[in-house]
Structure 1
Amino acid sequence: MNPVSPLSGRGMITPNRIDEDDSESMMDLEVPQGNDMTFRAIVVGLGVGVILCMTNIYFGLQTGWVSMMSLQSALLGFAIFRFIPRILPTLMMTPFTPQENVILQTTAVATGTMPLAAGLVGIIPALEMMKMDVDGRPPIVLDYGHLVMWCLAVAFFGVFLASPLRRQVIVKEKLVFPSGTATAQLIALLHKIPPPSQSLKPSGGTYKRLPRSSAETDEESSRESDARAKNHQDEQAMGGSGWRALGWSFAASGAMTVLSFLFPVLFSIPIFDIFSIPFGTSLAAGWLWYFTPSLSYVGQGIIMGFPVTVSMNAGMLVGWAVLSPLSKHLGWAPGPVGSTTNGARGWILWVALAIMIAESIISLLPITLDHLNRWISHYRQRSARPGVFRPASPEDRTRDDYFDPVPEEDDPEHEPPERLVPGSWVWWGLGGSGILGVVLVWMVFGADGIHPWATAVGLILASILSLIGVRALGETDLNPVSGIGKISQLLFAVLQPGNVVANVIAGGVAEAGAQQAGDLMQDLKTGHLLKASPRSQFYGQMIGSLASVFVSTAGYKFYTSVYTIPGPQFAVPSAGIWLNLARLLNNGHLPDHVVPFMIAFGAFFALASAAKSFRSSLQSPQLDRMVSYLPSGIAFAIGFLNAPSFSLARLIGGYIAYRTAKASGTGETPLFAIVVASGFVLGEGVLSIATLTLTSAGFGALSCFGCAIHGGGYCAGTCA
């Protein structure tokens, strides 16, 4: 599951609104002749990717938050090459080019996102959480060798899936892919080259522009003026002050991580217990209400943006301040509040699941209908094309003067064949990776797991649904992989009923292909704008994916050998979602009195999602404004899944993003704030590796002072 991964592009550098004529002129730039597939770019990309991989395992197991971190990859890679000349001057005999940076961040993203693609923060922990009395079989705990085989089974299918989609959605239709475009603009800024132009309006073909009114011209001039002002601010941000801010924010977050390891109460401050003193109880120990002053989660809030963090905290208040006490006091969830089986946490998890399924499925409908309309329209145009079935009419010629879809015989591809991925590679790769996946999944889980034909169906489903996911990502920056995984689970409840293992694995296989294809498509968009070789990016994706199979597996096994998962430090909320849905579909058991709440919240967010999906058709400004205030269902549900402390820290970051955006005068989070946020996220992610190593070596907290207050909170489990 990747509930907030697509949000990594929100609040970042938003592509400037450039005239379509200007964006078309970018296609006439000369293709760079230099070799962008260099040894140094791959090596540094793998190094950055390992850092991102371990960071994503840490945050994914803790809160379910996983990001592709393409911006951070390009930023960190460029920073490394700024300092390499001081250590290894021979590696910098030639300048580090923007195209090399594209290959670097492509390799890093492929390496860093494997924990999600392979389900190491979702389905694998879910299989380890199974119980004999509930699921009819004991937990499945894979050793290192079998886990490597599983990762190999899902590592490459999405890579081959992305390549054939590039020509259609990036070259022909010119979909925006906001995060990919933002990364291209950042790389251009870092390397001090003109920023690539990209219209926010997707183009399905060529057309003649009608005369524009003076009001449209004034609005365009205002947008261009804002864009120039923002570019000037970004250039200043990436001067010496920007790099110093990145270093200081990284150091501050890392120092806070080490201090919280030595003094756990710093990561679990029971500030809300002041409200429970009259009642003789502890909100921290009894209800999981404490505050975590984590700079990394503040950084995540800056990256997510204010609206998303507000939705998340609204969900947190409803879930943990209303529904959790209600289910506990009425006896619907009699166990400890933090229990995911018979406690309030497990009870509200079902409500979150209903919200996520409702919004995911409804959000897929508009893009599905759009696909059908495009297909029908294309079929009708082919049937009615002059010279094929009937002669041209005057109406046809008039229409074609203003809009003429790109004919199939006209190839808009400007890359020479030697820089493209051959079609034979794609088809052989899809077939080979599909067969490899089916065989390896069968070898890992055996006859009691998922049938080979069922794995093949999951891969086919991933291929179909990835078309929808990639298009949604290109237009909105949101890849509905959660909905894709849930749809697969619903389907396999019919195809292979009564098998929880098969249900979880099938959902994971479908989600992996769609998620990987979407993330890699963002990279291909970045490369397209900066004229990097698609074939070199393909190599980088393959190398990064292969390396991450072993890195991700080692990292996951390291964490599970040191910490109790799920446990106080790592609740693994994504695993609970996967396992509970599989149990529901196969056993049909729900906690007491949770069904009315699931229906009510699911219906509300289904309507909210439908309203937002068809917002463009609203004629009333008042209704449009009301719809804009509706919360994000996925973010709202994540507020249920995570303990309140994580949502509160993200809200602080979201408010910082709001204030800095307002102060900048552009309405967008300035690059300087994004740089600081990146330092915060990377600081805790990197130093968490050090604390993990110390814990495995037998070192612990220096002092558990404060963890016993009113029975303790988060740190009570740490110091137990």
Structure 2
Amino acid sequence: MQPRAILLGLLIGCLLCFTNLYFGLQTGWISMMSLQSALIGFLISRMLPTPLTPQENVVVQTTAAATGTMPLAAGFVGIIPALGLLDPTKDGALPVSLSWLGSIGWSCAVAYFGVFMSPPIRKQVIIEERLPFPSGTATAQLISVLHKLPPASETQVRQRKGYSALETEETPEEAVGDDDEDDETVRDHVRESDTEMERTVRTAGWHALAWSFLASGALTLFAYFFPFVFTIPLFGEYLAKNWLFTFSPSLSYVGQGIIMGFPTALSMNLGMIVGWGILSPLSKKMGWAPGPVGDMTTGARGWILWTSLAIMCADSVVSLVPVIWEAVAKLARRARRGPDDVFDKGDHNEVETEDRLVPLNWVLWGLGASCVLGTFLVWLVFGHEGIKPWATFIGFVMGALLSILGVRALGETDLNPVSGLGKISQLLFAVIQPGNVVANIIAGGVAEAGAMQAGDLMQDLKTGHLIQASPRAQFYGQILGSTLSIFVTVSAFTLYSRAYPIPGPTFPAPTAYVWLGLARLLRDGELPNKSALFMLFSALLFGALSALKTLGARRGARWTAYLPSGVAFAIGFLNTPSFSLARLVGGIVELLYRRARGYGHGDIGLVVVASGFVLGEGVVSIISLALRTFGVGVASCWGCGHGMCGGCPA
């Protein structure tokens, strides 16, 4: 079971859990941090009497990811705040505010279904179809370099079992000929790059992680006492006060920009320019959004939310079309070949022994128990008027189907379209329980939780497959990580909600308005003035872009990198400009650094620094929370005349 690896993963995961809740409530964006968890686990293990093995490092990052992603899986960055925004006159239901115990019950209801879905999906998409899962493969390659293993690849895994090279379908990167001088040059380059990565991590890793962590934490603490630091009116007081254009020099958001990369950060900022620089002033000037710009109901921020929602749905749904088509085509081919081929092929390709796999009876009992117990807990927490038990059960079934789609999309494109999958579930429940906004949000949350967990945990199973870690040990880590994270996430959210209004200036929880907005639209069909036209145009545009991007990526076309990501573009609408601008700084740093150093493994030092930046603010936010709870306020409100400083009175 590898207890020390699981314990270390739980420790790292708790830090990620606080960090993801903090940033998720601010911007709606969280990160699995699998690669970063593996890197931090390796650095910590160097202080142990016996360093971690590569397989233990896989268990560390698997456990950390399962622990750290619960804020999104259980809906604490979107669904729970959305239920608190319910209005009896608009929604026919009172606001739902869960107690600590009620939040625990809800989290337990959705925490395990996706975990038990993982083993059977693993057999299909990792063992039989061998989908690439780019982030999981990248993490495996990092671990192999840190622990001086041969480069992680599907060919290496299958050769361990006794397959010859002729029996494997090598990718172009793996099919290196022995007699080709160019191939030898490539191998030399890879060896040099790997040596540089190893030297960087072993000699400077701790120092880089420590100083970046301390720098980000110190700046965060300083900004707590002097809020002006994170709300600089970069474009003047007028734009800051009236149009919310400020700049936050937060090192954590710079680190996020480094991790997400320049293309994603650029897409986010293009969305920010269109949403906040064009559509926001237009809606205000034309009288479509007469309220204050920052108001989510009558202001421009609430008006552009609908365009953002249309972009996210169009991008996610269109990107799923080829995944659905291929899945249906494969099922049809297997049905024609007969049932024996369907089952025997997967067993033949399995590289693990039975004692290292998750037994089938565990999976069946786990899925059954999580569905039944989850249905009961949801009924217990929200009552019969919230959502009918039979409807909750359908939500779990829907979640299982959507999980398969999400996993396949993630395996092929490195993007898990959970936002779009949740919206699909909301559309279905508008028919199953029409007019019930609470049921619509809850059912969408149930489906999203399963799809999100099954998809993101599959990245870790891909890493474990390439490094030959035990799937059963990873399963233990996922179960224990999810269990601990329930209590950490609920307790942290309870403390934050007592110290700050959620949604509020410090934690706007932008995705809460997305969930509630779609539920209201499906209930009464009313849209803000003139927003339908912009929603239709943006949905058609980004649906077409998503189709081009998906088709081009499947053919290996490089030009797809120049097309904007629809989800990232839409996030630029949801967040105020300060968050997007800071991420752009990080994206530019990543671009310049990689161009200067080359696009090899030499940029791992930058990943270490970015990880320290992100964790520094996330961890020190716990100190800020404690100060706020005990009544310790800001030291000075100097410079906050624009009214955008969260800790100062407007």
- TM-score category, normalised to shorter length: over 0.9
Within 5 Å, which residues of 2 pair with 1:35-46? 37-46=1-10
Tell me the residue number matched to 1:78.
Answer: 42
Within 5 Å, which residues of 2 pair with 1:472-511? 472-511=409-448
Q: What is the rounded CA distance, in whole Å, between the counterparts of 1:648 and 1:146 in structure 2?
A: 38
Q: What is the rounded CA distance, in whole Å, between the counterparts of 2:302 and 2:217 in structure 1?
A: 32
Q: What is the rounded CA distance, in whole Å, between the counterparts of 2:78 and 2:179 in structure 1?
A: 48
Conserved in 1, the CA contact under 8 Å of 2:212 and 2:612? Answer: yes
Conserved in 1, the CA contact under 8 Å of 2:128 and 2:345? Answer: no
1:683 equivalent in alignment to 2:616: yes
SS of the residue corresponding to residue 670 of structure 1 reads helix
Query: Following TM superposition, by how much is the alpha carbon of 1:566 offset from its aligned partner in structure 2, in angstroms?
Result: 1.0
Within 5 Å, which residues of 2 pair with 1:112-191? 112-191=68-147
Q: What is the rounded CA distance, in whole Å, between the counterparts of 1:507 and 1:258 in structure 2?
A: 37
Query: Following TM superposition, by how much is the alpha carbon of 1:298 offset from its aligned partner in structure 2, in angstroms?
Result: 0.5
Tell me the residue number matched to 1:424.
Answer: 361
Q: Structure 2: state its 5+ residue gaps.
A: none
Conserved in 2, the CA contact under 8 Å of 1:701 and 1:719? Answer: no
SS of the residue corresponding to residue 699 of structure 1 reads coil
Q: What is the rounded CA distance, in whole Å, between the counterparts of 2:298 and 2:275 in structure 1?
A: 16
Query: Following TM superposition, by how much is the alpha carbon of 1:375 offset from its aligned partner in structure 2, in angstroms?
Result: 1.7
Aligned counterpart for 1:268 among listed residues 220, 231, 242: 231
Q: Which amino acid aligns with 1:636?
A: F
Q: What is the rounded CA distance, in whole Å, between the counterparts of 1:76 and 1:329 in structure 2?
A: 50
Q: What is the rounded CA distance, in whole Å, between the counterparts of 2:267 and 2:81 in structure 1?
A: 27
Tell me the residue number matched to 1:374.
Answer: 330
Q: 1:382 to 1:218 in 2, by over 3 A?
A: farther
Aligned counterpart for 1:547 among listed residues 461, 484, 487: 484
Query: Following TM superposition, by how much is the alpha carbon of 1:716 offset from its aligned partner in structure 2, in angstroms?
Result: 6.0
Tell me the TM-score normalized by structure 2: 0.94
Within 5 Å, which residues of 2 pair with 1:50-61? 50-61=14-25
Q: Which amino acid aligns with 2:565?
A: S
Q: Which amino acid aligns with 1:263?
A: F
Q: 1:563 to 1:668 in 2, by over 3 A?
A: same
Conserved in 1, the CA contact under 8 Å of 2:43 and 2:205? Answer: no
Q: 1:215 to 1:596 in 2, by over 3 A?
A: farther
CA radius of gyration, larger in = 1
Q: What is the rounded CA distance, in whole Å, between the counterparts of 2:623 and 2:43 in structure 1?
A: 22
| Partner deviation per Cα, 1:325-374 (whole Å, 9 max, x = no partner) | 11111111111111101100000000000000111110100111111121
1:243 equivalent in alignment to 2:176: no
SS of the residue corresponding to residue 587 of structure 2 reads helix
Within 5 Å, which residues of 2 pair with 1:88-487? 92=49, 94-198=50-154, 206=167, 220-221=183-184, 223-273=186-236, 282-382=238-338, 408=345, 411-487=348-424
Tell me the residue number matched to 2:514.
Answer: 577
Query: Following TM superposition, by how much is the alpha carbon of 1:226 offset from its aligned partner in structure 2, in angstroms?
Result: 3.9
Tell me the TM-score normalized by structure 1: 0.85
Q: Which amino acid aligns with 1:458?
A: G
Q: What is the rounded CA distance, in whole Å, between the counterparts of 1:568 and 1:483 in structure 2?
A: 27
Q: 1:696 to 1:413 in 2, by over 3 A?
A: same
Tell me the residue number matched to 2:535.
Answer: 598
Q: 1:627 to 1:234 in 2, by over 3 A?
A: closer
| Partner deviation per Cα, 1:611-663 (whole Å, 9 max, x = no partner) | 11222688xx9xx6665422111111000000001100000110111111111
| Partner deviation per Cα, 1:228-282 (whole Å, 9 max, x = no partner) | 3321221222132232111111111111101101111001011211xx6xxxxx2
**Aligned CA-pair RMSD:** 2.7
1:714 equivalent in alignment to 2:647: no
Q: 1:66 to 1:515 in 2, by over 3 A?
A: same
Conserved in 2, the CA contact under 8 Å of 1:121 and 1:575? Answer: yes
Q: What is the rounded CA distance, in whole Å, between the counterparts of 2:374 and 2:343 in structure 1?
A: 37
Q: What is the rounded CA distance, in whole Å, between the counterparts of 2:474 and 2:201 in structure 1?
A: 26
Q: What is the rounded CA distance, in whole Å, between the counterparts of 1:456 and 1:45 in structure 2?
A: 32
Query: Following TM superposition, by how much is the alpha carbon of 1:192 offset from its aligned partner in structure 2, in angstroms?
Result: 3.4
Q: Which amino acid aligns with 2:55?
A: Q
Conserved in 2, the CA contact under 8 Å of 1:56 and 1:115? Answer: yes
Q: Structure 1: state its 5+ residue gaps.
A: 1-36, 86-91, 277-281, 389-404
Tell me the residue number matched to 1:648.
Answer: 581
Q: Which amino acid aligns with 2:380?
A: M
Q: What is the rounded CA distance, in whole Å, between the counterparts of 1:460 and 1:318 in structure 2?
A: 38
Query: Following TM superposition, by how much is the alpha carbon of 1:690 offset from its aligned partner in structure 2, in angstroms?
Result: 0.7
Q: 1:335 to 1:669 in 2, by over 3 A?
A: farther
Q: What is the rounded CA distance, in whole Å, between the counterparts of 1:534 and 1:340 in structure 2?
A: 45
Query: Following TM superposition, by how much is the alpha carbon of 1:406 offset from its aligned partner in structure 2, in angstroms?
Result: 10
249-258 or 233-242: bigger deviation: 233-242
Q: What is the rounded CA distance, in whole Å, between the counterparts of 2:5 and 2:170 in structure 1?
A: 42
Q: Which amino acid aligns with 1:590?
A: L
Tell me the residue number matched to 2:504.
Answer: 567
317-326 or 661-670: bigger deviation: 661-670
| Partner deviation per Cα, 1:453-473 (whole Å, 9 max, x = no partner) | 111111111111211211121
Q: 1:216 to 1:651 in 2, by over 3 A?
A: farther
Query: Following TM superposition, by how much is the alpha carbon of 1:198 offset from its aligned partner in structure 2, in angstroms?
Result: 4.1
Query: Following TM superposition, by how much is the alpha carbon of 1:674 offset from its aligned partner in structure 2, in angstroms?
Result: 0.8
Conserved in 1, the CA contact under 8 Å of 2:196 and 2:601? Answer: no
Q: Which amino acid aligns with 2:523?
A: N
Conserved in 1, the CA contact under 8 Å of 2:123 and 2:346? Answer: no
1:69 equivalent in alignment to 2:33: yes
Tell me the residue number matched to 1:517.
Answer: 454
Q: Which amino acid aligns with 1:543?
A: L
> How many residues align structurally?
642
Q: What is the rounded CA distance, in whole Å, between the counterparts of 1:168 and 1:148 in structure 2?
A: 33
Q: What is the rounded CA distance, in whole Å, between the counterparts of 1:573 and 1:239 in structure 2?
A: 40
Q: Which amino acid aligns with 2:405?
A: I
Q: What is the rounded CA distance, in whole Å, between the counterparts of 1:140 and 1:715 in structure 2?
A: 28
Conserved in 1, the CA contact under 8 Å of 2:267 and 2:568? Answer: yes
